[in-house]
């Protein structure tokens, strides 16, 4: 399997891959020095535009600094295990970089962190509701009401026709990730050169211009039942609304508890179909605690042709029944990675050019949702809603105390 080397080169004064003998969380302060490396072709970009967020992976404490004119970030930190996230905007695009599991243990540390350049998306993920809610006034929890919302963040009309989406393996951020590794000698994080989309690939219908999305307009996608869930569970949402899309294929996913027949307000042309099913489940489920959602359009080949080529399908290591679709990075419109705040063992599944950060979800079954920030200044200037898009969910998203569709 081909590999891409992404994110960081850790060098110089101290080891960052292994914790030394003794307790690394005791002791005094250490100096962490980060040298920001801009990509080739951007050497003349101002170096003082990068915001660094350093998070203690065990306590959740965060420290932030802005790079200086030489592209350096320096701060003093106690012993600990840290996650580094860097982001900035210039040259009409976005710079991102990240480093995971950096150890400070009674030694100063200097490291070089390479940035990646990318462009903001046209169609972006505005909201992801995955965590479920309580069944009040009944006892128990409910998760058959998951949805996400897409948004046209561009000044031109965009079309949903043939847009695909899916979630990545592993399903949970805390799961064992066979697609990402770390070079113990250099500290480099190694991502596979494709996105491992698990369970199924879904694709919007249309011939190219059937489903326009005007600038600032939204599209709701029901991942399970497009019904009025509030009829039974008031803390849920009504997903039986005109214009809503729904994932529905009774041949592949026949569990009617999760996939009931769409409600009377859902038109047949709004049913999103399966391009390929790669798992064995009788219901399409995404993680309620920490999924990674990706949207894309194939280029130069139809998605059906792509998945019919078995070179583009590969087994999940260690599984005899589950496969993934190997989606190319360059097809991606947008992606969001969710971490589980209840755990200190979250790991990245997306390379920083797609999502350098993550959005923490506090807990499950709270009715909380993950929402993208509005860029108020850009929205005011354009006359339509423009959402924050730095390809870094740490900056772009926040957790709300209820779903935006809750009435």
Mean pLDDT of 226-247: 97
Phi then psi dihedrals of residue 121, to 5 deg: -85, 165
Mean pLDDT of 295-312: 97
Does 22 have pLDDT greater than 80? no
Look up residue 186 and give its DSSP letter: T
Q: Tokens representing 320?
A: 């005899």
Does 14 have pLDDT greater than 60? no
**What's the rounded Cα separation, in Å, for the pair 156 and 158?**
6
Burial group, residue 101, by CB count within 10 angstroms (0-12, 13-18, 19+):
middle
In the prediction, which pLDDT does 185 show? 62
> Which helix or strand (DSSP H or E) is residue 353 part of?
helix 352-355
Contact predicate 87/50, CB 8 Å: yes
In the prediction, which pLDDT does 317 show? 94
pLDDT single digits (tens) 239-261: 999 999 999 999 999 999 999 99
The separation between the first and the last C-alpha atoms of the chain, rounded to the nearest angstrom, is 48
Domains, in order of start, for the chain: 3-118 (2.60.40.10), 123-400 (no CATH)
Cis peptide before 219 (omega within 30 of 0): no
pTM (2 d.p.): 0.82
Higher pLDDT: 352 or 212? It is: 212
Q: Which residues have a Cβ under 8 Å from the Cβ of 70 and sit 6 or more positions away?
A: 47
Does 15 have pLDDT greater than 50? no
Does 17 have pLDDT greater than 70? no
In the prediction, which pLDDT does 26 show? 53
In the prediction, which pLDDT does 58 show? 85
Mean pLDDT of 278-307: 96
Mean pLDDT of 112-130: 88
Q: Looking at 91-159, which runs of residues are DSSP E strands?
A: 93-104, 109-114, 116-118, 123-129, 133-134, 141-142, 147-152, 158-159
């Amino acid at each position: 399997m081909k590999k891409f080397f992404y994110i960081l080169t850790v060098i110089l004064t101290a080891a960052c891959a292994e914790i030394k003998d003794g307790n690394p969380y005791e002791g005094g302060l250490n100096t962490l020095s980060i040298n920001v490396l801009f990509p080739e072709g951007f050497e003349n970009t101002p170096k003082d535009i990068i915001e660094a967020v350093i998070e203690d992976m065990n306590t959740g404490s965060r420290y932030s600094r802005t790079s200086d004119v030489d592209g350096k970030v320096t701060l003093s930190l106690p012993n600990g295990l840290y996650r580094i996230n860097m982001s900035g905007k210039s040259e009409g695009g976005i710079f991102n970089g990240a480093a995971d599991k950096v150890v400070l243990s009674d030694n100063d540390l200097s490291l070089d962190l390479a940035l990646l350049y990318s462009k903001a998306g046209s169609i972006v993920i505005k909201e992801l509701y995955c965590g479920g809610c309580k069944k009040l006034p009944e006892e128990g929890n409910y998760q058959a009401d998951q949805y996400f919302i897409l948004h046209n963040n561009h000044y031109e009309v965009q079309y949903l026709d043939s847009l695909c989406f899916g979630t990545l393996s592993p399903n949970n951020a805390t799961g064992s990730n066979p697609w990402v590794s770390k070079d113990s000698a250099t500290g480099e994080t190694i991502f596979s050169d494709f996105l491992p989309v698990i369970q199924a690939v879904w694709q919007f219908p249309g011939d190219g211009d059937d489903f326009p999305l005007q600038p600032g307009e939204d599209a709701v996608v029901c991942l399970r039942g497009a019904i009025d869930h509030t009829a039974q569970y008031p803390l849920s949402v009504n997903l039986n609304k005109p214009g809503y899309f729904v994932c529905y294929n009774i041949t592949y996913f026949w569990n009617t508890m999760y996939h009931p027949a769409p409600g009377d307000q859902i038109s047949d042309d709004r049913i999103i179909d399966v391009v390929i099913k790669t798992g064995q489940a009788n219901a399409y489920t995404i993680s309620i605690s920490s999924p990674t959602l990706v949207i894309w359009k194939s280029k130069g080949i139809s998605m059906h042709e792509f998945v019919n080529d078995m070179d583009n399908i590969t087994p999940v290591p260690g599984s005899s029944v589950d496969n993934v679709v190997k989606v190319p990075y360059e097809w991606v419109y947008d992606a969001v990675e969710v971490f589980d705040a209840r755990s200190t063992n979250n790991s990245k599944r997306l390379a920083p050019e797609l999502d350098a950060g993550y959005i923490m979800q506090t807990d499950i079954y709270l009715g909380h949702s993950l929402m993208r920030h509005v860029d108020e200044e850009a929205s005011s200037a354009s006359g339509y809603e423009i959402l924050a898009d730095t390809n870094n969910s740490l900056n772009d998203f926040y957790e709300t105390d209820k779903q935006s569709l809750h009435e």
